[in-house]
Amino acid sequence: MRRTTAVLTGAALTALAFPLLVAAPPANALTADPVAALKGRFKAGHGVRIVERAKLVGDGGNPRTVYGRVKGVLEFGPSGVVASDLTSSFELPAEEGTPSEPFAPSRTVTVKGVSYTQGGVYAGSLPEGKKWLRSRDDVLSTTNPAQRLFNPLEPATLRAALAHAGPGRPGGTLDGTRTVVRSGSFTLGELYRISPSARAVLGAKPSAKSAPLKVSWRLYLGADQLPRRAVSSYVQSVRGLTSVDVTYLNDTQYGGWGLRSTLKAPPAAEVADFDELRIGDADPGNVSLNNLFTG
């Protein structure tokens, strides 16, 4: 009886000790829901920092590359991003020389659906004493077509991406947390249907020719299941119109989740509306990034 008791006691001790020898899974393991984690951060007065690098590569007889950079803060409300303060800049091909006014650095603050832009396209046309141009359709700042086509801060986009993603693998450390990287692809048509960001960047529904284009993406999720980096790319051929294939590349990093943010519109005395601009015969807003590849 003593021997049996000793054996049982040893087995019990082994059972008790075993959990101490095996690392317990983190509270937010891969089985956790990244969409729920994202929605949990949609709180008024809080936000996230972004640093975005976008690149357009024209692969033709005269290859050209245009770099775009955006950095700043996105502020959340109960349903997602409701405000932002973003600074944009461009680096044009060397042969283009110094960037013209439309491609000059600009800062855009968007609050309650209204954007206020400083610098950039119409900086030289503002009335005296005015520093910001107000817009309700976000057309006043020059944007890179590769910007945020794949946006993991949209719950529907994130859910659709992860539903068809490949298995996770280590993605290194970003924003102080170890990440797991998932990857997959959409067609341009699918992304346009799912994502408000894609619709804003593309401007119009993809044609029957471009809708099947594959948009590849990689998403890096932290231990808390929040996005830390998103990379996307696709190639669009405009051969026949020109001799160029254009590759769109975007790399956006997210950090400082939960930071305090209370963005406000600029002082009213410093704001001008479009009908107050002093615009000559040449409208700088007509300058397009695509002209750099088709000229």
Q: How far apart are CA 202 and CA 160, in angstroms?
A: 19
Please report which helix (H) or strand (E) contains residue 180, including its range: strand 177-187
Q: Name residue 225's amino acid.
A: Q
Region 197-206: what's the mean pLDDT? Answer: 88
Q: Is the CB of residue 85 less than 8 Å from the CB of residue 105?
A: no
Q: Is the pLDDT of residue 243 over 70?
A: no
Q: Is the pLDDT of residue 282 over 80?
A: no
Q: Is the CB of residue 150 less than 8 Å from the CB of residue 184?
A: no
Residue 251 pLDDT class (50, 70, 90 cuts): very high
Strands 169-174 and 132-135: unpaired
User: At 26, phi and psi to the nearest 5?
Assistant: -60, 160
Q: Is the CB of residue 218 less than 8 Å from the CB of residue 181?
A: yes
Cα torsion for 116, 118, 123, 127, to the nearest 10°?
60
Region 124-150: what's the mean pLDDT? Answer: 75
Q: How much is the pTM?
A: 0.79
Least confident of 31-40, 58-67, 186-195: 58-67
- If you classify domain 34-283 with CATH, what class do you get? mainly beta
Rounded percentage of the chain residues whose pLDDT exceeds 90 = 54
Q: How far apart are CA 243 and CA 247, in angstroms?
A: 13
Q: Is the pLDDT of residue 34 over 80?
A: yes
